[in-house]
Chains A and B, each alone.
Chain A
Amino acid sequence: MPVRQGDRESRRHGDPEKLPLPMCSHPVERPNRISRLLVPIARWLRRHRLQLFGYGVITCLGVSFIFPFVWMVSTSLKPAYEVTTYPVRLVPSVWRWENYVRVWQEVPWARRWALNSLLLVEIGVIGAIISNTMIAYAFARLRFPGRDILFLVVLSVMMLPGVVTVIPTYLIWTRLGALDTYWPWAIGAFTGSSFYIFMLRQYMLGLPYDLDEAARMDGAGYIRTLVQILVPLLRAPIIAVAVFQFLNVYNDFFGAILFLRNVQLFPLSLGLVAVRTHPQVGWRLELVMAMSTCFILPMLIVYFVAQQYFIEGVALTGVRR
């Protein structure tokens, strides 16, 4: 008589393999302690093997994704003599919190850069919200000749490689005397971008049209309908636009390389690149890492706060950047 005749497991469809009983040779009448202990464990392990495997792999991958950040923070807290030691010590022998103070003191423009970044982000986010909501409203809710063709143009601009426009864009701004000003960012934000227009329009198409109709019946104009009726309903995609735009503007340093020569006008992103050639700070990796950590922190905070909207935005359009 087989040992596990009454076992549900063996009868389960699509599970032909037998439970590897640890004490197979033992007669059934005298199940010893060990097998009594091991059989449920083995059974549990097998029932949950996919989850266990999943946990194992996901943990390994997760560690590899997070480990560089851990190392960055640990480096930023080390005393100077410990940064380049080999083998690497993950836990500093002395915790040098003052590295964070020092980097902001020793780099004369660092605070300035942070404020510049803040300013650029503010301009960028406010401009992007206003302009893209406006433009998307026209494409989603109003009828006008050439609408569909123009919207196709919006979509194709989204796919257009920047390489063919970057040189003339620079030359045009130079002609206009916009070097060393923030005008390119401001105008760029207030004229909308394809990706956000597309995202907001998709969302708006999902809102019932009766809302607008009702508002129009009550005598509200187009703009008022948009501002008072639709914008409150568009909270999720507008927050998504704000988050995306924050990340883009904050991370962008190529624009700064192109348009800014004056070191006092640099945003923090370009400052982080520039600081590596700073005579006092550039070779002190713990300070560079401290600055990187400070640089990354706002992005993480914004992401955690607005995570759900962010993912919604991605899911809605299926493109990132």
Chain B
Amino acid sequence: MHSPGLWQALRAPRYLRGPWPWRSAAYLLSGVCVGLATLVSLLLLAVVGGALAVVVVGIPLLLMSALAGIPLAAMERRRLRLVDPVVLPDPHREPDGTGLAAWVRVRLKEPNTWRELGYALLCAFVLWPLEALALGTVLGLCGGLLSTPVVMATVGGGEEVRVMKIWLADSYPQAFAAALAGALLLPVLAYPLGVVAAGRAALARQLLSSRDATVDSRIQELGRSRMRLVDAFEAERRRIERDLHDGAQQRLVALSMTLGLARLENSGEPLGGLLAKAHDEASTALVEIRELIRGIHPQVLTDRGLKDAVEDVADRSTVPVDVRFELPGRLPEAVETAVYFAVCEALANVAKHSGAGRAEVCGRIAGGELVVEVRDDGAGGADFSGGSGLQGVADRISVLDGHLAVASPVGGPTEFRVRIPCPPARAATDTAAAPGTTTAPASRTATRTRI
């Protein structure tokens, strides 16, 4: 399962004129450097770690050597771009919490980590010598032939030179003939060099990608259908909100108004007392329906976007909340909605369980991702394993290829972090987006970058 790029280029007649021979050479040369560096680091880690294991300090070093495949694999995935235009996705899972310990725990459990360690050992002990051999042969052969006249003029004193230490050339015409042969050989050898590089890249791709392409495509399809479900759910939510708003709420207002007028006309007992009671009940129903509608889908989120909607939630929180958002404008609707409900859940948890005196919500775009953090100064130690609300939030976010991490050490603070890939925001002038324009297609495709 190799991707086009170098393989196609090798078959094309323009191969030699294009960048591919150079890319192949660069790929192999950098491979030698990386392989050597890996060998040295692995040996150093093993030796130093082994020696220090007696005094315990070495054990983390040995652990590090078990994880040594991860940075190498990351670099190899980048280096692969030299000869292979198809991006190789990172097969690792996101850790469930923040901090180094959570990361190490997840990594040690993943088969990919161990496969990458195997790859590192292969690089360090087998691959780089082979790459060096291939490069060395081509460069040595062509370089040796090409330099014959120079060597003859300098070392040979203009008399004689041994070409490739095999034939003896004793005249300049012979020496130049050897150089010419070298010049002709170089393009010829560029092909095997390309093949070696392509083979090496295919091996790297095979070893470093996740296992099964059919499984991958099924996962993709599942992801898409999950996205459709969430969209449908969201559309339904809006419909309910609208029906309540335009129907029941308006009628209740009208009813309350009529009752209010009736009270003016009949202030005397006994009807007046009954009317007053009915009026109060209508008012209570109105307050309840207002809160219900807001919980289903807040209008301010559609009208003004995430920042205003989060400020609104913060205003209602019993714990004082500082909101700091640095957003370039409106974000895709699906992202705004998911993050809004995530923040609501986080702030509800802060209010209910943390005992915090203050909380903070920060949001910003960093590296193509929307990062939103909710922190509090409470006692921490929250157990989120049984919380269905939080699980729902995590599911919603993962549909958008995002990630939710919660850290709540005993003694606090509790930190809640959402990261969602976020395509460039729509223009700020677009803030008056009409409701009913459910998830824009752009947000659907653009957020599906990782599988």
Q: Do A and B come from one complex?
A: no
| A positions within 8 Å CB-CB of B | none
